[in-house]
Chains A and B, each alone.
Chain A
Amino acid sequence: MDFFFKPQGIAVIGATPNPFKGGNAILKTSSPVSAAGSIPSIPATARSRDCPVIPR
């Protein structure tokens, strides 16, 4: 269960730059966890957050 409470790397699936969407909030609030920054993925486009984005 530690990966829920103390994750080392997070992928946000559904991240979005639209500030009115929940996927944007998750991206903003979960990012401090990983030293490398969180990883927004399918179908994310949050390039402003300096995170790797999948799909590119």
Chain B
Amino acid sequence: MNEVPGLVDLAIVFVPGPQVPEAVAACADRRIPGVIIESGGFAETGDDGGSRQAALAAMARETGIRIWGPNCMGLVDAVNGHVFSFLDPRAFPSLIPGRVSLVVQSGMLSAGFLVDIMTHGVMGISKVCSVGNKIDVDECDLLPWLLDDQDTDVIGLYLESLLDGRRFLDICRRADKPIVVLKGGKSPKGAQAAMSHTASLAGDNRIIRGAFAQAGIVEAEDFKEMMDLCRTLSLFPAHRQERPGRIAILTFSGGAGIVSADFIAAHGLETAELSETTKRVIGRLFPEWMPVNNPVDLWPAMERHAAAEVDVINQSLTAAFADPQVDAVFIHAFVGNFRIRLDLEDVARQSRETGKPVFIWLLGRRDDAFQFQNEARRLGVPAYPELGRAVACMAAVLRKR
């Protein structure tokens, strides 16, 4: 390494596991401050690999060199266009820059995230940090950096182990950005699998869950939920809720309204008591026999005005956004139905001007729904194909903080 010319402050190592200690020692001699080891063949493979990993950890302690990995995918920075990874570059044809950064213990998972996110166009990414076996650099090193990072609004973590749980929780408690965590290895079998995957010792699930809640961490149950939570939180980075959020539900289906109210209650939110003004405004659109309640079932009003050019949905939306007893609006959209036409630009404008988050649950023909979802994303309006997921994301934004 002494032959390498010029300033080198980062080495990326991808040689067979047994050759890694020698390469890192050369980096330490050259006084390179940081090394990303993407090679596998360490504690995740058994005793020999474990010895190699221990030797590297000792090297980090003795020399001060910072070691990221091993057994990881490295770093992808979509904002600055950096990809420090062994993955085929064709897997990253068009990184969409965004405000969400991820820390992922599994290498291939972080790659899968990126490809999924990019091809579905659901959200932009700031950084993806794949940390692997975490012999030195871990979430407690990366979180403070990402919390200070001007390109990051929300941080999502998939972790199989927490090496310094107390420090991690302390960082999260003091964080001024939302942190979403999916913790793997919560069941005995899951913990066993985590041991062979990234040599992680997983902890007691109940203790971890309680500690996460106390530290203000948003906990995800699966990978797609983690992405949806991050995406949603990144749309409302400045929103602060002083009390459990009160939701106005505008629906085309009585049944969907009922299920929405159930989900909202289960997540500790409230179905709003609409003000008398709102009831009067929406009531003018309703058939005489029908009182205005929340959930607001708009279908009878749409049928009543089917022949006239009365925009039932958007007039009702305006009333809901203006209601001081409503903190957020939940719209059910049936894409492709000619009577349910949602002016997305106007929805985005009203949400922005009132400072009230809006969420859309989406039904309809697949292609139309995908197009609608992309248009909603462009306008900063979250839209979800699953009702429960929509409310879970709503709760992450509107839970008292």
On chain B, the residues within 8 Å of A1 by CB distance are: 34, 66, 137, 141-142, 145
Contact: B77 with A25, CB < 8 Å? no
Contact: B89 with A9, CB < 8 Å? no
On chain A, the residues within 8 Å of B81 by CB distance are: 32
On chain A, the residues within 8 Å of B86 by CB distance are: 22-23, 25-26
Interface centre among A32, A33, A39, A41 (most CB of B within 10 A): A41
Contact: A10 with B11, CB < 8 Å? yes
Interface residues of B in 73-95 (CB under 8 A from A): 74-75, 77, 80-89, 92
Decide: A30 near B6, CB < 8 A? Known: A4-B34, A13-B14, A14-B15. Answer: no
Expressed in whole angstroms, the minimum distance between the Cβ of B226 and any Cβ of chain A is: 22
On chain A, the residues within 8 Å of B9 by CB distance are: 3, 7-9
How far does the alpha carbon of A43 sit from the alpha carbon of B19 in the complex, in Å?
A: 11
B5 within 8 A of A: yes
Q: How large is the interface on A (under 10, 10 to 19, 20 to 34, 35 or more residues)?
A: 20 to 34
On chain B, the residues within 8 Å of A54 by CB distance are: 1, 3-4
**A36 touches which of B6, B13, B89 (Cβ 8 Å):** B6
B310 within 8 A of A: no
B12 within 8 A of A: yes
Decide: A41 near B4, CB < 8 A? Known: A3-B34, A22-B14. Answer: yes
Q: How large is the interface on B (under 10, 10 to 19, 20 to 34, 35 or more residues)?
A: 35 or more
Expressed in whole angstroms, the minimum distance between the Cβ of B45 and any Cβ of chain A is: 17
How far does the alpha carbon of A33 sit from the alpha carbon of B14 in the complex, in Å?
A: 18
Contact: A30 with B33, CB < 8 Å? no
On chain B, the residues within 8 Å of A4 by CB distance are: 10, 34, 36, 66, 68, 75, 137
B332 within 8 A of A: no
On chain B, the residues within 8 Å of A13 by CB distance are: 11-15, 23, 27
**B34 touches which of A7, A22, A26, A29 (Cβ 8 Å):** A7
How far does the alpha carbon of A39 sit from the alpha carbon of B141 in the complex, in Å?
A: 26
Scan B10-31; emit 1 where CB is below 8 A from any A CB, else 0. Answer: 1111110000000100110000
Scan B90-108; emit 1 where CB is below 8 A from any A CB, else 0. Answer: 0010000000000000000
On chain B, the residues within 8 Å of A39 by CB distance are: 4-6, 8
Interface residues of B in 30-48 (CB under 8 A from A): 32-34, 36, 38-39
**A42 touches which of B26, B34, B84, B145 (Cβ 8 Å):** B26
Contact: B84 with A41, CB < 8 Å? no
B127 within 8 A of A: yes
B7 within 8 A of A: yes
Contact: A3 with B33, CB < 8 Å? yes
How far does the alpha carbon of A10 sit from the alpha carbon of B9 in the complex, in Å?
A: 6
Decide: A9 near B7, CB < 8 A? Known: A4-B68, A22-B86. Answer: yes
How far does the alpha carbon of A49 sit from the alpha carbon of B141 in the complex, in Å?
A: 33
Chain B's closest residue to A43 (CB) is: B15
Expressed in whole angstroms, the minimum distance between the Cβ of B116 and any Cβ of chain A is: 19
How far does the alpha carbon of A28 sit from the alpha carbon of B127 in the complex, in Å?
A: 19
Contact: A11 with B8, CB < 8 Å? yes
Chain B's closest residue to A19 (CB) is: B88
Residues of B within 8 A of A (CB): 1, 3-15, 23, 26-27, 32-34, 36, 38-39, 66, 68, 74-75, 77, 80-89, 92, 127, 137, 141-142, 145, 149
The 23 sampled A-B contact pairs (Cβ below 8 Å) are: A1-B66, A3-B34, A4-B68, A5-B149, A6-B80, A8-B7, A10-B8, A12-B11, A13-B11, A13-B12, A14-B13, A14-B14, A14-B15, A23-B14, A25-B85, A26-B38, A26-B85, A29-B85, A30-B12, A30-B84, A41-B4, A42-B26, A52-B5
Residues of A within 8 A of B (CB): 1, 3-14, 22-23, 25-26, 28-30, 32-33, 36, 39, 41-43, 52, 54-55
Known A22-B86, A25-B86, A29-B92; 6 more pairs at CB < 8 Å: A12-B11, A29-B83, A32-B81, A33-B84, A39-B5, A42-B1
